[in-house]
Amino acid sequence: MVNFLIRRFVAMIVMFLVITFVAYNVLSLAPGGPLQELMQQQQNSANRLDPFALERVMQRYEFDIDLIPRYTRWLVGQPDGPLNLFGQEMFGATQVGCLRKGETIFKYPDGRVVVSDCEVPVYLNDLKGRAVSKGILALDFGTSQGVLRGRPVSEVLNSRIGLTLLLQGISSLLALAIAVPLGIYTAVKQYSKLDYATTTVAFLGSSLPSLFWGLMGLLVFAVLFKQWGLPYFPAGTFVSNTPQTVPLIGVIEPESFADRAWHLILPILILTFVSLSGWIRYIRASVLEVLKQDYVRTARAKGLTERAVILKHAVRNALIPFITLVVTILPGLVAGAIITETIFSLPGVGNLLVAAIYGSDYNVAMAVLLLSVVLTLIAYVLADILYTVADPRIRLR
């Protein structure tokens, strides 16, 4: 077990490094970037930007540094100057980037000719005294470059994560609370009327994406209900600006608790419905599988009550697929509702990720990605540990 955990931990670190490095590089391949706006201003003669100002901005966003040092600076805040060994500064003249591109030809006295495509190179010495984040490992995600330019990413994340946690937390708990009993019940009472009804609804819910249900929910409960004079839900956003009069419910004051709840009910219901539908089918199938086993028949033959047979013998053995399912809630807590948040224009993390991608805010996008990668990795280890709890025959080595 300890061996297993250590090995998994090492594998997790390797995966984490590979994913973040690839993602960091991919993002810096993106056209545009935070500088795009400035570049466009450059072309406009009335609003000409001083080239040195542009270079200062490049330095500010570290676009003058090569990818690998930029990545390590993002990751651990190093290198932040020449290497300091025993009080001696070393490798200060190593080139780590390029501020201004352009061809320069060096002709050395000994006859060598070196062509460099960099006019103003950046050396390790130049990094001394530059502002640098403390690195991801110290939970410093750097500075936002687009969504809230100049503010720390952690601040941006903090302002968004609460809503997503609330949405995903409530909807996952609700879905679990409904799906588990209903899944078990429909498996035990197979071919009953409730089973048929549940299976049909679950089939619809799981075969159409959340995109469909979100838009249909908006159309029916926000638009049509309002037209018909029924109690309706707002068509998105998080708070209302003015008191809203809803038929049969009354006046909802802006920014009150009722207002928040009124705005969140519809997205929560839709998230719940979509995950619920998948889970019911899953749980029903795994319990059905177990109910056919010989040991369930044996348990019945021993004269155990039906309750004991189902709860102690059947459900216990159907736990393994169920665990796989429950741990997927964890990574979903950060970026699991991207589409729903976008449909309802809720200021959550998913919406933030989309905004960061549109606005070329790589630090924010990387932070969101990082959180969901870490949570995914943790979720899988957690699942492996829970398997041993549910089934003592499984040994982790």
Partner 1 sequence: MAITAIKPQKENEQARKPLARADTQFNIVARRFRRHRLAMVSLLVLGVILVASILAKQISPFERDYLNVESAAKFLPPLSRSPETGAMHWLGTNQIGQDLFTRLVYAARISLTTAMLATTLSTLVGTILGTLAGYFRGILDSVIQRVIDFFSNLPQLPILLILTAVLVTDPRLIPIPTFVIKFLQAIMLFDQEREARVVAALILILTLLGWTGVARLMRGQVLQVRERDFVEGARALGANSLAIITRHIVPNAFPPVIVAFTLGLAASLTAETGLSFLGVGIQNPVPTWGICWPLPRAICSSGRICH
Nearer to partner 1, 19 or 308 (CB): 19
Footprint on this chain of partner 1 (rule: CB under 8 A): 15, 18-19, 23, 26-27, 29-31, 207, 209, 211, 215, 218-219, 222-223, 226, 235-237, 331, 335-336, 338-339, 342-343, 345, 353-354, 357-358, 365, 368-369, 372-373, 375-377, 380
CB of 308 to partner 1, least distance (A): 35
Nearer to partner 1, 179 or 349 (CB): 349
Chain-centroid distance, C-alpha 68: 24
Q: What token pair was written down for 1?
A: 């077990």
Region class of 62: left (phi > 0), else alpha (psi between -120 and 50), else beta: left
Task: Decide the pairing of beta strands 113-123 and 83-85.
Answer: unpaired
CA pair distance 167, 267, nearest whole angstrom: 8
User: Cβ closer to partner 1: 19 or 180?
Assistant: 19
What are 333's two structure tokens?
């807590």
Closest separation between CB of residue 377 and partner 1, Å?
6
Shortest distance, CB of residue 349 to partner 1, whole angstroms?
10
Cis peptide before 331 (omega within 30 of 0): no
- Cα 142–146–149 angle (5° rounding)? 65
Smallest gap, in angstroms, from Cβ of residue 336 to partner 1?
A: 8
Q: Which amino acid is at 131?
A: A
Q: What is the DSSP letter of 255?
A: T
The residue among 281 and 313 lying less far from partner 1, judged by its C-beta, is 281
* Nearest approach, Cβ of residue 372 and partner 1 (Å): 4
Cβ pair 97, 69 in contact under 8 A: yes
Dihedral (CA of 217, 223, 229, 231) sign: positive
Q: Which of residues 82 and 217 has its CB atom nearest to partner 1 in the complex? A: 217
Tell me the C-alpha distance between 397 and 383, whole Å: 15
Kindly tell me which of 205 and 336 has the beta carbon lying closer to partner 1.
Answer: 336
Contact by Cβ (8 Å): 393, 179: no
CB of 339 to partner 1, least distance (A): 5
Torsion of CA 281, 285, 291, 295, to 10 degrees: -130
Residue nearer to partner 1 on the CB measure, 310 or 343: 343
Closer residue to partner 1 (CB): 123 or 380: 380
| Shortest reach from residue 226's CB to partner 1, in Å | 7
Compute the least distance from the CB of residue 217 to partner 1, in Å.
11
Picking from 211, 215, 195, the residue whose alpha carbon sits closest to that of residue 203 is: 195
Residue 249: DSSP 8-state: T
β-strands 95-107, 113-123: how paired? antiparallel
Closer residue to partner 1 (CB): 51 or 243: 243
Element holding 348 (H helix, E strand): none
CA–CA separation, 205 and 199 (whole Å): 10
Work out how close the CB of 31 gets to partner 1 at its nearest, in angstroms, rounded to a whole number.
4
Choose between 2 and 29: whose C-beta lies nearer to partner 1: 29
Least CB distance to partner 1 at residue 153 (A): 15
Task: Output the six-digit token pair for 358.
Answer: 């549109």
Of 103, 121, 122, 123, the residue nearest 113 (C-alpha)? 103
The span from the CA of 359 to the CA of 337, in Å, is 20
